[in-house]
Amino acid sequence: MAETILDARHISKEFHDPVTVKVLHDITFSINKGEFVSVIGKSGCGKSTLLYILSTMDTDYAGELLIDKELMTGRKDVELAAIRNEKIGFVFQFHYLLNEFTVLRNVMLPGLKLGRYTEQEVEHRAMERLNMLGIGHLATKSAYRVSGGEKQRVAIARALINDPHIIMGDEPTGNLDMRNSEMVFEIFKELAEVHNQTLLIVTHDPGFAERSGRIIEMEDGRIIRM
């Protein structure tokens, strides 16, 4: 049996402001290693909210979350930050690179934070990933000087730097044109198939979802297909 990477158990969430609205109802599912999962659903169905709970950044929920068989629920900010650093890679809809740094430095930062490798090794690993994504030539450019599609690939390289257990994406192609979306999808697909990388991608692009390994569809805070 495949190894379970992420396990969500009875997760519920309410927003209290301005009135109490239950956005997630008793969500239970698990993701195995190497799966390419997309979460789809209409706007406001709670798919992004779910993603941020699964990413450990949002801690205000009921239920239990296990990543790599460890319970995340109720842990401290510092521990969760360390877990995000080591085990989770993020790709967002907007590219969120640090404009003060070069492309290479952006990719290196989470690796330096982890501190498992020396600076030279982190740099080497960052270059490997940039080259793998075909943007090695951008390494010394400032982050704000590269195009949108390139930024998203830099963000993917950054997500990969610490060999995470799972990469999470919040509409990573939502802000890209067809060609770049296609390129990003191909990268995800290759990561899943060649490198056995686990992926959990929230998207509203049905075409994107159809071609991924597994679809979780949500509606009104509930999973209706998985």
Partner 1 sequence: MRSKLIFGIAKSLLLARWRQTLVAAVGVTFSIAMFITLLSFMNGLNDLLDGLILNRTPHVRLYNEIKPSENQPVNAAPGFKDSYNFISSVKAGVTRQEIYNSGPILQTIKNDPRVLGVTPRLSTQVFYNEGTIDITGVINGVDVEEEMRLFNFGDYVTEGSAIDAEQVANSIILGKGLAEILVADIGDVVQVTTAQGERFPLKVVGYFQSGIQEYDKVQSYASIATTQKLLGKPANYITDIQVKLHDLDMAPAVAKEYAQLFAIDAEDIQTANAQFDTGSSIRSLISYAVGVTLLIVAGFGIFNILNMMIYEKMDSIAILKATGFSGSDVNRIFLVIALSIGLFGGVVGLLFGLIFSVIIDNIPFNTAALPTIKTYPINYSLIFYFIGGSFALITTYFAGFFPARKASRVDPVEIIRGK
Binding interface with partner 1 (CB under 8 A): 48, 52, 55, 57-58, 77-78, 81-86, 90, 92-94, 96-101, 105, 109-110, 112-115, 158, 170
Between residues 44 and 213, which has the closer beta carbon with respect to partner 1?
44
Distance CA 14, CA 121 (A): 44
Question: Whole-number minimum distance, CB 2 to partner 1, in Å?
Answer: 26
Question: Whole-number minimum distance, CB 55 to partner 1, in Å?
Answer: 8
Distance CA 173, CA 134 (A): 18
Within 13 Å of residue 74, how many CA atoms lie on the same side as its CB? 5
Task: Work out the burial of residue 129: count CB atoms within 10 Å of its CB; fewer than 13 is exposed, 13-18 middle, 19 or more buried.
Answer: buried
Between residues 78 and 178, which has the closer beta carbon with respect to partner 1?
78
Between residues 29 and 92, which has the closer beta carbon with respect to partner 1?
92
Question: Whole-number minimum distance, CB 182 to partner 1, in Å?
Answer: 23
Are 209 and 13 a contacting pair, CB within 8 Å?
Answer: no
Between residues 70 and 186, which has the closer beta carbon with respect to partner 1?
70
3-state secondary structure of 129: helix
Q: Parallel, antiparallel, or unpaired: how do β-strands 4-15 and 62-67 relate?
A: antiparallel
Take residue 165 and report the two structure tokens written for it.
Answer: 């257990």
Question: Whole-number minimum distance, CB 52 to partner 1, in Å?
Answer: 5
Between residues 82 and 226, which has the closer beta carbon with respect to partner 1?
82
Task: Work out the burial of residue 182: count CB atoms within 10 Å of its CB; fewer than 13 is exposed, 13-18 middle, 19 or more buried.
Answer: middle
111, 133, 173, 26: CA torsion to nearest 10: -50
Between residues 105 and 165, which has the closer beta carbon with respect to partner 1?
105
Question: Whole-number minimum distance, CB 193 to partner 1, in Å?
Answer: 25
Question: Whole-number minimum distance, CB 19 to partner 1, in Å?
Answer: 19
